Amino acid sequence: MQTRRFDGTLNPFNNQPYSKQYRGILRNRKELPIYAHMTANQIMIVVGETGSGKTTQIPQLVCHLDVPHSRGKIVACTQPRRIAAMSVAKRVADEMDLTLGKEVGYSVRFDDMTEPGTTFLKYMTDGMLLREAMSDPDLSRYSTVILDEAHERTLATDILMGLLKDVTKRRPDLRLIITSATLDTHKFQQYFGTDEHSLAPLFVIQGRTHPVEVIHAQEQEPDYITDAIRTVLRIHRMEGEGDILLFLTGQEEVDNACKGIMTGAQDLLKQNPSAVGPLVCIPLYASLDAEQQERVFDPPPPRRNPGGPAGRKVVVSTNIAETSTTVDGIVYVVDSGVSKQSVYNPRIRVESLSVSPISKASAKQRAGRAGRTKPGKCFRLYTEKEFKAFKDQDPPGILRGNLDSTVLALVKIGTRDLVQFDYIDSPAPETLPRALATLNYLGALDNEGDLTVLGITMAELPLDPQLAKALVVSPEFGCSVEILTIVSMLSVPNVWVRPTNQRLEADRARASLTIPDGDHLTLLNVYDKWVRNSRRSNWSWNNYVSQRSLLEAEQARCQLESLMIRFDIELVSAGKGPGLHKRVREALACGFFMQVAHKEGRAYVTVKDNQKVFIHPSCGLGDKPEWVLFNEFVLTSRPFIRTVTAIDPEWLLGEAASYYDIDNWKDGEAKRSLMRTRNQLPTQTSGHSSEG
Ligand code: CDP
Ligand code: MG
């Protein structure tokens, strides 16, 4: 092993003298047990507790072994989460005394912080590496690929495992490291073994964990958020020094709980100023920017006076703190027992997020977060009986998600037989044909399953196939500038801000920006108004829209615009004319004709799947149009469709004739309505030219 490289006076990666900071970090780093385990196997599995240094340390060590910069190669480390890729790249650049965006970079969708020719260590989302495999199936730019957080079993990581297993056979010079935070690595070892009987080498990083006492709730509580706030405050009052980590499910919950905890802590202080120490509450969820996320690493607040009670940091997090972000100093964990999980409904072909009980494996991970620094306690807001009913493990992403994008990527990479692909876990039998059919209806694949010209372009765009299709065909409707904006707005976190105590004002502001023909047009309007108001944060603030989401949308728009230029998608604007809205809606229908609902009574029914749905209260549609397309399906108290736009039924018959082969449909209101539409058309509409 080339540890010598660590000890020179010059940084081997940029030939600059090391700074004092670097020396300090280096000393700590060399004490991490991981260094004892590295050898020169082509493929290896590394397992280690969360916080043992897999994400930050292994890639650095690999750089010292590979010296990628001296041979024009790159070390890649994939992350399931965008935010993790960004924040860890920053951290590691600091640790290596190098510059983020130069030698150490990151690449996530719509944000590329790398410098070609300079970056040799690249953190990236697994989705981005899968994209790169589309144009470079051998991943020839990389000397090592580290598939980090493989235990999360995201769809992209699973597919990358399959692809890379193959690439390592073609490229003996490529090193592959799979890391996992959970011990059930046997499956990975078997999968990467050279034959049926041999297992791929496993390296276990010995954790330095302390015992955690698990305390279950005595009885079932109906409202876990109130219960969580109460529990955090009780710990603050009754328990010794140490920070608290609370697991909830989503941004809104996290923000609300932070407010509740802060208010409660202030009340405690008023009641008895000498009994409790100062408390800070730090939210942690995926849509925070990297800088905000860094706050979780801040030390707890200092004592108010010497000898007074110690300060406490409370991190309120989604399941992102379960394995992907390690916060040191946590002694108490409060586990709500739920998380927001993506559920795919193959019947209506849409994914939705819903709050569901976690698995036993997750509960164990969450509890483990309390024992990083010293013995800790985990307060479970569910009874032992409830815990016993949790499933052992979450099913892998490939069994949960929509495979449309993945199948398009695999076809682009050149996978000839999708069924025979070496999946670590095969998708459910009906999902592959379904994805193929969807791509065929969209015109991306022909009837033989080969990519069409349209499909090749669609695959190049980092968008869901529906959005990609709408964008690629939009020049035919003379509105690609507008669709570009809409697609960008749909690719960023929710732009609407609705603070609990200002709902009325927020709703009023939203109403004044609303275009009654459809929420997609409203998004276009918001973006255009923002640009016309010089992108001022003041304007966003006054209109209750998120400046950060708009800035992100602008960044996405910029990147998509350059891709459009590269792939010859003409940039044309429908101008301000009266036809603008209609053309935009028609172009959208070309992508979203499979996400269409028909009004029946007071509700809507999705086309073909006949699922009863309701228009989400946040939607701004003026009156209830007979036909709508929708971007999202959300299941809360009722099944809702969200981001909804009115469409004309003749577009469906014209632009998606093969999907709307209504003669073969079962009788129903939608069919009858479409029949009437067809009979009223002057001549039989023929299929759109872009249909495969
Ligand atoms: O990937 P794994 O969970 O094994 O550990 P890691 O993310 O590499 O973290 C190793 C150590 O670095 C932990 O103690 C983290 O708390 C710390 N760390 C940090 O202080 N600041 C960061 N931005 C990232 C990690
Ligand atoms: Mg990690």
Q: 520: domain CATH number?
A: 1.20.120.1080
428 within domain boundaries: no
Query: In this structure, which ligand is nearest to the CA of 149?
Result: 2
Decide if 618 contacts 594 (C-beta within 8 A): no
Position 5 scores a pLDDT of 47
CA of 148, closest atom in ligand 1:
1
Type of residue numbered 81: R
Q: How far is the CA of 297 from the centre of ligand 1 (A)?
A: 10
236 shares its domain with 197: no
543 shares its domain with 562: yes
275 within domain boundaries: yes
Q: Which one, of 460, 461, 440, lies nearest residue 452 by Cα?
A: 440
Separation CA 340–CA 358 (nearest Å): 9
CA of 48, closest atom in ligand 1:
4
85 shares its domain with 216: no
CA of 90, closest atom in ligand 1:
23
In this structure, the residues whose C-beta lies within 6 A of any atom of ligand 1 are 48, 50-57, 87, 91, 297, 326, 328
190 within domain boundaries: yes
Query: In this structure, which ligand is nearest to the CA of 52?
Result: 1
82 shares its domain with 150: yes
| Domain residue limits at 619 | 583-680
55 shares its domain with 197: yes
Question: Which of 365, 397, 429 delimits the end of a domain?
Answer: 397
CA of 57, closest atom in ligand 1:
8
Indicate the number of domains in the chain. Answer: 4
179 shares its domain with 66: yes
Query: In this structure, which ligand is nearest to the CA of 373?
Result: 1
Strands (E), 555-677: 596-600, 603-606, 612-615, 627-635, 639-646
176 shares its domain with 76: yes
Sign of the C-alpha dihedral, residues 59, 64, 66, 68? positive
Question: Which of 184, 205, 226 delimits the end of a domain?
Answer: 205
Kindly report the protein residue whose alpha carbon is nearest to atom 13 of ligand 1: 51
Ligand 1: residue of 104, 326, 330, 373 to mutate (most ligand atoms within 8 A of CB) is: 326
> Is ipTM strictly over 0.95?
yes
Separation CA 658–CA 441 (nearest Å): 7
421 within domain boundaries: no
341 within domain boundaries: yes
560 shares its domain with 653: no
Q: How far is the CA of 542 from the centre of ligand 1 (A)?
A: 38
589 shares its domain with 653: yes
25 within domain boundaries: yes
Question: Which of 343, 369, 397 delimits the end of a domain?
Answer: 397
366 shares its domain with 480: no
Position 690 scores a pLDDT of 44
Mean pLDDT, consecutive 10-residue stretches, the chain (692 aa), reads 50 70 57 59 89 89 85 95 91 93 96 95 97 95 96 95 96 94 86 86 81 94 93 95 95 92 94 89 85 86 88 93 84 95 68 84 92 92 96 90 92 90 91 93 95 96 96 96 97 88 92 95 97 97 95 96 96 83 96 96 90 91 91 84 95 94 92 94 56 38
417 within domain boundaries: no
419 within domain boundaries: no
151 shares its domain with 111: yes
Residue appearing with tokens 């079993």: 153
CATH number, domain containing residue 116 = 3.40.50.300
620 shares its domain with 664: yes
